[in-house]
Each structure stands twice: as structure tokens, then as C-alpha cells.
Structure 1
Amino acid sequence: MAVAFLLYVIAEVAAIWAVGSAVGVLGTIALLIAGAFVGSWLARREGGKAMRAFVTTAQSGRNPEKELTDGMLVAAGGVLIMVPGFVSDVLGLLFLLPPTRAVARRLWLRRAEKRAIRYANQRRGPAMVVDSEVVTPQEQPRQSTQPRVIEGRIVEG
């Protein structure tokens, strides 16, 4: 983690140095301030959209996982925009724009699912899904007279 932070700081300094060499000190400061203002406006706008989408989805009784993840990514993008630097501004902008946020959401949800499965497997052993029920090796699926389709996978940590 310390190496990643060090690389981030080096990238920020290099980006500010490059921009400063191209447009000068006052131009660099103006770009950083303009980026913060535009980014905060965009974060407020996208945050409001994410909140309205969450409320609408929650009121309809559907699972708001997409809307919650969008809200989290918008908040992270807003924080990154407010951190001084061009690299953080670009990363924050990627979290704020809907097309790139959709990509980040898919990656985040896939990662969260893998971590949840790994955590569950560590705590209670491998599990699989049987007719939308989670069945652990200690339990037996309920007996039924009708054939059932069993789908699922056992994921070892």
C-alpha cells in the first residue's frame, strides 16, 4: 500500500511539473482551481441523480445495489476531485461520468461478490445455491417429489 501511495505522489508531482512547464505557474494553479470547481459541480449533479435513482428503486421494492454502488462511486469521485492534483482529478472524473462509472461499478460488484464468497467459505465452508437457497455441506436440501434444477458453484478461497 505504501508503494502505491508513493507511486501516486510521484505521478501527481510529475503531472503538475509537466503542466507547469507547458502553461506556467499561474496557469497550473488556475487549472487546478477550475478542475475543483467543475468537479464539485459535477459531483453534486451526479450525486443528486444517484440519490433520486436510489429512492425510486427502493420505493419500488427492487434491490438498489446498482444505485448504492453509483452513489459510492460518485462520493469517491467527489473526494478525488477535491484532492489537489491532475491525476486525482482524472480519476475522480472517471468515477463521476456515467459511462466510465458503469465500468467501475461492474468491476467493483464483481470484486465484492468474489470477496463475499471467499469470506463465507472461510466462515462456514463451501456453499452452493439450490433453488435460490444457500445450502452448506452440513445441511441437506429439502426433499421434493418434483425434479429440480441445481445451479451453483463451489468456490474455494
Structure 2
Amino acid sequence: MTTGTRPPTARGRSRVRTYLPLAVAAWAVLEIWLLTVVADAAGGFTVLLLLAAGIVFGAAVIKRAGRRAFRNLTETLQRMPGQPGAAPEQAETPADSRGNGFLMLGGLLLMIPGIVSDVAGLALLVPAVRTRLGRYAERSLERRMRAASPGSFSDAFQQARIHRPDGKVVQGEVIRPDGGQQAPRPDEGPRPPLTP
């Protein structure tokens, strides 16, 4: 006889996975309805021009943001210690180099056919909106990393970032709690240091 209760090990579906398909369907219906309203008011050719302009403008925004992100990555790699021409002190990233992800998302939303997605994409082109969304996303990520259980990937990353910010390798040997040592492999000799 089954009782209808879940076993304690089974996890239920999250709310996002439950309601996301319904939200996507409602968004698609709203976009189609708005396009038909605009087509009745301004004509079908106007809607076609709006959709084509959104695709072209969105592609230009994505291309510009991608170039900017690649330029910032190249500059960051050139400023790394040990690179030819590297500056002795690290400079802060300029304010215009932040927000490339939201800029690309805005371009993608402009490329998606529809009025609501175009309005959201145009809103993401405003620097103040991108800054606020970036701060919100950063706070949310920090909150989730703090709430992560000990021993998780984020905890290991945090420990590595705190204790070894320069990334240097410290040579040593492993001492096991039971007193036994790991036997060296016969094909290995002493290793040279990785950094000069």
C-alpha cells in the first residue's frame, strides 16, 4: 500500500523549474499579442521594420560589447606579473569595462522578436540600470557563497584566495595522520621550482 508521501531522500522540484515553462509560454503569448496590436495600429510593414531594426541594432550591441570584453581580457593578461611590459602595480579596472555581460544580454533581448524583449533590451543599454543590476547580482552571489556549506567548491576557492593570493606553489611533503609516508615514485627525481 502506498501512502503518497515522498521518501525522505527525494527532493521536490524547485519553484523555478515548476513555473519557468509557464512564464515562458505567457511571455510568448504576450509578445505575439503586442505584435498584433502594433500591426493593427501601424501596419504590418512597420512591425517588420521594427523587428529587422531590433535584430541589426542588437547584433551591433553584442559585437561592440564582445570587442570591449576581449580588449579588457587582453589588457588584463598583459598586466599580469611576469608578462613583458607588465606594470609593477596592478591598476583597477576602469568603470567602462564593467557590465559587458548585461550589455550583451541587452543586445540579445533586442535581437529576440517582440516588443517586451526590445524594451527590456533598451533598458539594459542604460548605464545606471546595468550598474544597479550588477550590484544586485554581486550581492546575491556573495550571499549564496557565504551560505554554501563548508567543504564546497566556493569554500575551497575562498580559502585558496585568502591564503595564497599570489598563486605560488609551496613545496613540501604529505604527512599522514597514521604516521606513514607516501613512497616516492621511482621515475621522479627532485622537481625544480615552478616560478623563478
Q: TM-score range by the shorter chain?
A: 0.5 to 0.7
Count of residues in Structure 1 that have an aligned counterpart in Structure 2: 128
Match of 2:107 in 1: 78
Match of 2:66 in 1: 47
Match of 2:43 in 1: 24
Q: Which deviations, in whole Å up to 9, do the C-alpha atoms of 1:54-77 show, x marking residues without a partner?
A: 44455444676x888623222322
Give the aligned CA root-mean-square deviation in angstroms: 3.3
Match of 1:153 in 2: none
Question: Residues of 1 paired with 2:62 and 2:128: CA distance?
Answer: 15
Match of 1:114 among 143, 154, 173: 143
Larger radius of gyration: 2
TM-score for both structures, normalised by structure 1: 0.62
User: Which is richer in helix?
Assistant: 1
- Partner SS, residue 99 of structure 2: helix
- Shift in CA distance, 34/133, structure 1 to aligned 2, threshold 3 Å: closer
- Given the alignment of the two structures, is residue 3 of structure 1 paired with residue 32 of structure 2, yes or no? no
Match of 1:145 in 2: none
> Is contact 2:68–2:97 with CA below 8 Å preserved after alignment?
no
- Shift in CA distance, 90/58, structure 1 to aligned 2, threshold 3 Å: farther
- Supply the AA of the counterpart residue of 1:84: P
- Partner SS, residue 148 of structure 2: helix
> Is contact 1:80–1:88 with CA below 8 Å preserved after alignment?
yes
TM-score for both structures, normalised by structure 2: 0.52
Match of 2:53 among 28, 34, 56: 34
